[in-house]
Structure 1
């Protein structure tokens, strides 16, 4: 079966590009656009090219069998972390944030720094949702889109140097890379954070000032706080233990997502979760999974030769092309500086709201963020921060392929 080429490009790329353009422009119909694009790409491959060298239904089945674990894991995490963030909100702890955070624009900066740190130990989705939940309370639900973009960027930057902080770094860990091989991503992530975080905090304070101290009359539900901690510890613990003792299991079943949901079900007898958040979270999860599955069908058998220039480009590509298949290809190819790659594909997705799972999760909480134009207009410093961080990383440490 011969592929159709248009101006030298496989037709799958044309369909995928049209899908991304539709998502960017029709932000009130993002799910419809994503599903339409996925169906069109799948139909084209079924009729003309096959899937990974296998025709028809056989190829489609083999392709899905190869990717179902990562899709299931991502979907379970998005739904589970939606429950987690709602439980955290119901605990009353975010209402106490004005008493904890500093005054003025420093409140926003401290909140972004907290998101950065949390994402290094938890997961970029969880870090972003916790940061967005606190922001909703501190700023009385009037959160600037630029600040939402900064929350996502802080979570992605914070997770880029940790093997438990991002799906891509966890993939590197599963593939046998040492946690130390990605740790130096923070040499780029920290200066990038400083570039976007301070202006974003200033812009948010101008848009809506943080609540003052001494809000009064608020008592935290510490049992709900303990439940949130239990959920996080279970998910992170499952990730760490499976990587150490049973790495093959991570390729067979969605261990992390199942562990998170086991904690949700087990703690439901203590405090009933707010199941009403699931329909909206489900819509967002289906949207992201449709894009991830469509991206996995692209005929990208090879990446450019490993170099700092190609890694820089992969960061920009990650904003529109899911970073999970990109990372998988890079691991197959080898020869990368894994810390540089982790920074590039991890932080690069922050440039657009649908460029990372953290961005999709935050946009589910704040639907006004589902506009690529508004995101770019308000968060234009994030692409600049990406380049600055990358330059600092290469200038200080150079390109050190493993």
Structure 2
């Protein structure tokens, strides 16, 4: 039965990886393999020899001696445990996505365009790289990429020039998301899973992530594509749609940054702070929205008033629900493998079979993992989705909170995806927005991303010796 579950997972994973080839949204195979894997677990529970207790991160002793009813009760408890942990991530993401959409409702991101007045390509490259690095640490790398490419399209009219900037934005956005607990889904998973803390994430990963952005941008600034100036025309009519746009931008970004502070002070799960931030931003959004409606609107019919959509309702209708369902499916499917002890046993096998190179991330009684393994995880995240890779690592390894292993995983999974345009959410969305060719990116940008990844990894290995 274990073999059948692994086959289902591999087939589902393959369908996710080939999403664009088979023209099937990745949420569908993710949900199917989640349901089928857990169904097979329930049907074959009497045939399993191991059961993994996620709360204790150890195998359950005497599992084979339990009666069927006790085993099913254990399955239900485990399923509820994993659903609760997954829900923490999903509710957190829902809150963050809604705040970003509220900012966009008031056209808040147009404020960023007002900062750019230069015509020099090299200067524009550095401005966008810096903005991508900073914004992705606050509003996540996917949203930062969408926002900046949208602004880029208004500034750089020539597409052949623009895709070069887009390529460096992808690298910078993924680098910026790695060192922030709210900057990348995989880093958020490690943070919510109590594997890393905000303070140590910054100490371990800020400099490696910064180098991962600076080195490719520095090299690129000498390439012919970034020589000279662009045809830049100020569009006097391109003004924010709302007088509150700048105010909502700063309020929304501050509210998101407040979440790690709230968690540090209260020690409550991050989604609680995110819901508080959402409530505050939504309150101001409703107030500013009402100020645009005249008093005569309140004397109109109910249907007329309904035409004035609440900014909160409008924002909720625009969030990426397919992504939320995909995360639900993939995380719960990985949880099925973890519950059977498959990932735990795989980690033990990995320790014995993979040559231990460099410094090992090891604590007494824990599984040793070499630098090579984590680097391979980074390379793997460029080929396949990094979410299940990190989800699997959470079930494989038992190192304590803030062990360097978790921080290196956060860096590798977050920045390694830049090496292929399909290797990260930021790359995929840029590919769609600018119709960037896979092989063009492989030839022109991938080597820059690889250099940044290796330099950042080297910097991490040096920095971890200081703590």
TM > 0.5 fold call:
yes
Q: Which residue of 2 aligns with 1:156?
A: 174
Q: Does structure 2 conserve the Cα–Cα contact (< 8 Å) formed by 1:85 and 1:129? A: no
Match of 2:374 in 1: 311
Q: Is the 8 A contact 2:381 2:417 kept in 1?
A: yes
In 2, Cα distance between the equivalents of 1:262 and 1:159? 24
Deviation of residue 11 (structure 1)? 2.0
> Does residue 220 of structure 2 align to residue 224 of structure 1?
no
Q: Normalised by the size of structure 1, how large is the TM-score?
A: 0.75
C-alpha separation between the residues in 2 aligned to 1:169 and 1:325? 11
Asked if 1:282 corresponds to 2:282, the answer is no
Could you say what secondary structure the match of 1:269 adopts? helix
Partners of 1:260 and 1:354 in 2: CA distance:
31
1:107 and 2:118 aligned: no
RMSD: 4.2
Is the Cα–Cα contact under 8 Å of residues 94 and 138 in structure 1 kept in the other structure?
no
Give 1:107 shift. 1.0
Say if 2:232 is the partner of 1:212.
Answer: yes
Deviations 1:230-252 (A, max 9, x none): 111112213311x22222333xx
Partners of 1:24 and 1:94 in 2: CA distance: 33
Contact 1:156 1:350 in 2 (8 A): yes
Cα distance change, pair 169–283 in 1 and its aligned pair in 2 (3 A): closer
TM-score by length of 2: 0.66
Answering whether residue 274 of structure 2 is matched by residue 256 of structure 1, we say yes
Distance 1:267 1:280, change over 3 A: closer
Matches within 5 A, 1:1-400: 2-4=1-3, 10-26=6-22, 29-31=23-25, 33-48=26-41, 58=76, 60-85=79-104, 87-88=106-107, 92-99=110-117, 101-120=118-137, 123-140=140-157, 142=159, 144=162, 147-169=165-187, 171-172=190-191, 174-175=194-195, 177=197, 179-180=199-200, 182-197=202-217, 210-212=230-232, 214-220=234-240, 221-241=242-262, 243-250=263-270, 253=271, 255-256=273-274, 259-260=277-278, 262-264=280-282, 266-271=284-289, 273=311, 275=314, 278-279=317-318, 281-287=320-326, 289-299=328-338, 300-301=343-344, 303=347, 304=351, 305-319=368-382, 320-322=385-387, 324-326=390-392, 328-329=394-395, 332-334=398-400, 335-352=403-420, 355-356=423-424, 358-359=426-427, 362=429, 366=433, 368=435, 376=442, 379-381=445-447, 382-394=449-461, 396-397=462-463, 400=465
Worse-matched range after superposition: 50-59 or 106-115? 50-59
Q: Contact between 1:168 and 1:324, CA under 8 Å: does it hold in 2? A: yes
**Aligned counterparts of 1:39 and 1:309: Cα–Cα separation in 2:** 33
- Structure 1 unaligned runs (5+)? none
Count of residues in Structure 1 that have an aligned counterpart in Structure 2:
386
Q: Structure 2, unaligned stretches of length 5 or more?
A: 46-50, 54-70, 290-309, 352-367
Partner of 2:293: none
CA distance in 2 between partners of 1:283 and 1:203 (Å): 38
Secondary structure class of the residue paired with 2:386: coil
Q: C-alpha offsets along residues 292-312 of structure 1, whole Å, 9 cap, x if unaligned?
A: 444454442364523322221
Q: Using the alignment, how far apart are the partners of 1:385 and 1:124 within structure 2?
A: 17
Bigger radius of gyration among the two: 2
Which digits, 9 at most, give the CA deviation of each residue in 1:6-28, with x for residues without a partner? xxx932442243123322534xx
Q: 1:22 to 1:105 in 2, by over 3 A?
A: same
